[in-house]
Structures are given as structure tokens and as C-alpha cells.
A = this chain, B = another copy of it.
């Protein structure tokens, strides 16, 4: 046989079982999004490169997959263009379109393009693949799904509150225990203002994050090594040692940041959000080391960690002002979350949390003994399918053993055997594949037994 065909590196096929699990994840998230009034949109896989370029930093531009212009893409290019060996410049002439890199920029583009049709605030969710020409590695793919929900056009913190409720509900439905961490960009800005080291905020959060591992002295040494002056490090001590309940942390921060209006605004926002979230099933915790998307977020920052599996953040998000400004529509604030489908898939696998019924496909297989028997089965099939049972007949009258292997391979829980005896009685011999038990069942009673 010829060499097996393959797929591009960093991409995946999803088997029936994987799809059933992924559908369970997506459907759970979709249901909860809908429960909170979010509506689904979809945007094209291809966007104009003018929409995508410059939105993800220089590194991001390099990771865009570009689509070769169709037709005679070389026309209009000079010999000079082509022999320059300047890939970036040549790419600009060869390609006008690229594959979606995330769902946020297409969403911003959508809002601006369709602004006349939209009722603001616009609460949308979107579950689609994105593509990045990253170096593939364990858990990092070149094609993967994002599951985003965003509210645009409202500055109310109730949006943050509801997004955290969504996170809590989704993971409760999955049966995954999580810790929701929140922070606020304004608090981080306040800290930087306070110590006069605006450009060092990332270094500071990175160092603080190591407290548990390396201890206070080592953290202070690292801060000094980062070039932060001794008096600033001194001022940071209450923040590095911050602990206790959310209320205690907020009280400390309010004191430490008393000189920064922005910082206090951040404390107020956190306090408001936490005060509305007293009924969550999962813990929610103020965590100053949370600095994701720092160049991007302007208010609340969220991250979700699974408690029972060692894995990175499985959901994240935050508030960004001026999302649509890049497309000429300033002044719209947005806040959103994104569930990490691939990591959630791994978590549910590791904890074996998929409900049995969501990953079961066919419930009943009719064995095929020949045309007369098949004719009988087709009538019964019509009946059970009308009752909502997922059922099939083995299409060929192959050997019994082969048909039973098929039932096993497909994990089908019930097999109906119809031979001459059964036809004469007008019944089917129903075998429970788990217990091995067999019983004669009238067609009208089949669906009820199979549905348990």
C-alpha cells in the first residue's frame, strides 16, 4: 500500500468519540452563554490582511497564515520585487487575505461593519477555529477552537459579574472544581505609579508570583536585580506579603494605594464585582500577580485554574477599552471571556467527567441475517427511530461474529437479533451488551427499554 496520507503539522483530525466529547463541551458553554442572553455570530475564516495586520504585534503578524491571491498572482509584480528576497515585502504583494488569528479582532471588525444593525450593548458569543503559524508542540496547535463571549458598548461592572457567573456555572456543569482569579489593570497601574516604576510592572508581578516558591528575601533580591530601587521595594512589601480574605486584601490595597486615584478605582471595581459574587459554587480570589494581556486589558482581568489537574489557565478574559477604535469607531468599551476548549478537553479526560450519554452514539444495532429479516427490521427501525432511539441495521448479512464485533467497536449497548423464530412471533430478541442478558421484546416496547 502507498504511503499513508497525512495532515499539516499542528493540525488534527477529530474522531467520532473526540467529536462527541468536544460537542459536549461546546454545547454546555453555548447553553450557558444563551442563558445569559448572549447570541452567536460567525465570521469568515479569511479576513483581509488589512484587518489583521498590526493587531497582534510584530510577532503576531509573522504568525498569520496568508492566502495566496488566486488567479495570476504574479502579474503586477516586477522582477525586482521577486528577487529582493524580502519575504515580508513579497508576501504583502502575493497575498491580500489571511486566516483568522483570534476571534476578538474579527469581532471588532464585525461591530464596526454592522454598527447600524446592532442594538448596544451587544452581547455576542462565537465558537470557531483560529489559525496560528506557531511552532507546534504538546498542547499547542496551529488550528484550534476559541469559545469567546464579549459584551461591547457597556461600561457597567454588572457585565463582569455576569461573566464570572457564567464561568462558575459552566465549570459547575462540567463537574470541574476551579478557582477564579481576578485582578484589575488599574490596581497594577496604581502600584507602578506609587513606586514610580511604570515600566517595571511585569517584572514586579513575575517576582511576586514566586513568593511561595522562593520566599520573601529571594523575591526582594530579584526585584533589586530587576533594577527596582530599595525605597520602591520597601513600599512594595505590603503588596508582596498580601494575604488573607479578599476583603482583607482589598483593605490593605486601599491603604497602600491611597495616593493613586487610578489604583483606588481598581480597588473599588474589584470590591464591587466580588460583592455581587457571594453565591458562586467555586472560589473567587483577588490575585495581584495576574497580569495576562497587560497591553490589552484596561480594567478587570480574569483567569481560571482547575484545582484537580496540573494545567495552565483554562479560561481567561478581561475588560478592554476602545476595542473598535482600531477600525475607526472609538469610545466603545468591551469585556469578554474565552474558554480554552483544548485544555478543558484534557481536564475532563483526566478526571473522566464526560457524562455517559453524551459520548454514546448508536443505541441499538439490528443484526442482518438476509433480505427477509432485514425487511422486518426496517419496519421496527422506523418505529424506534420515531421514538428517538439512535439505531442502525448492519447493512450486509455478514457473519454474526463480524456484526457483533462492529457493535463492540462502536460501543453499542443493545443488539437486536431477528431470525425466523422472532419474525414468526413478531418480536425481536434484544441483547444487552453489557450484561449479556437477552429477552424477547415486542417492537412497541423496544424504545422504552432502550431509553432505560
Give the interface of A toward B (CB within 8 A).
Answer: 1-8, 11-16, 19-20, 23, 34-37, 39-48, 50-51, 62-63, 65-68, 70-75, 79, 82-83, 85-87, 90-91, 94-97, 99, 109-110, 112-114, 117, 119-121, 123-124, 129, 131, 133, 142-143, 151, 154-156, 158-159, 161-162, 165, 169, 276, 279, 327-329, 361-362, 365, 368, 374-375, 378, 382, 385, 388-393, 395-396, 405-406, 409-410
Contacts and interface: CB of A to CB of B under 8 A. Distances in A.
Contacts of A23: 40
Among A6, A40, A43, A155, residue most surrounded by chain B Cβ atoms (within 10 Å): A40
Contact of A328 (B3, B112, B117, B276): B3
B83 A362 contact: no
Given A15-B117, A68-B66, A143 B44 contact: yes
B7 A44 contact: yes
A85 B95 contact: no
Given A2-B328, A68-B95, A83-B82, A113 B7 contact: yes
A244 B74 CA distance: 57
Contacts of A5: 48, 50-51, 109, 112-113, 327-328
A97 B17 CA distance: 27
B47 A13 contact: no
B374 A35 contact: no
A158 B395 contact: yes
Nearest to A22: B42
Nearest to A378: B276
Q: Which 6 A-B pairs have the closest CB atoms?
A: A2-B328, A37-B392, A119-B409, A16-B39, A11-B44, A156-B395
Nearest to A375: B276
Contact of A41 (B16, B362, B410): B16
Contact of A279 (B121, B162, B382): B382
Contacts of A36: 385, 390-392
A136 B165 CA distance: 43
11 contacts: A8-B47, A12-B44, A13-B41, A15-B117, A39-B410, A46-B65, A71-B133, A121-B395, A154-B395, A161-B378, A276-B375
Contacts of A361: 34, 37, 39
Contacts of A39: 16, 19-20, 361-362, 410
B390 A46 contact: no
A245 to B, nearest CB: 21
A392 B395 CA distance: 49
Contact of A72 (B6, B68, B87, B365): B87
Contacts of A50: 5
Given A5-B109, A19-B40, A19-B41, A66 B67 contact: yes
Contacts of A112: 4-5
Contacts of A327: 2, 4-5
A244 B42 CA distance: 47
A74 B86 CA distance: 8
B393 A8 contact: no
Given A151-B395, A154-B396, 13 more contacts: A2-B328, A5-B50, A7-B47, A13-B43, A15-B117, A19-B42, A34-B390, A35-B391, A37-B410, A39-B362, A67-B67, A120-B406, A154-B395
A2 B329 CA distance: 8
Contacts of A154: 395-396
A231 B329 CA distance: 73
A68 B85 contact: no
B37 A14 contact: no
Contacts of A362: 37, 39
Nearest to A410: B119
B87 A79 contact: no
A42 B21 CA distance: 12
A54 to B, nearest CB: 13
B8 A48 contact: yes
A143 B4 CA distance: 28
Contact of A35 (B41, B43, B388): B388
Nearest to A14: B42
A142 to B, nearest CB: 8
B159 A395 contact: yes
Given A2-B328, A328-B1, A129 B40 contact: no
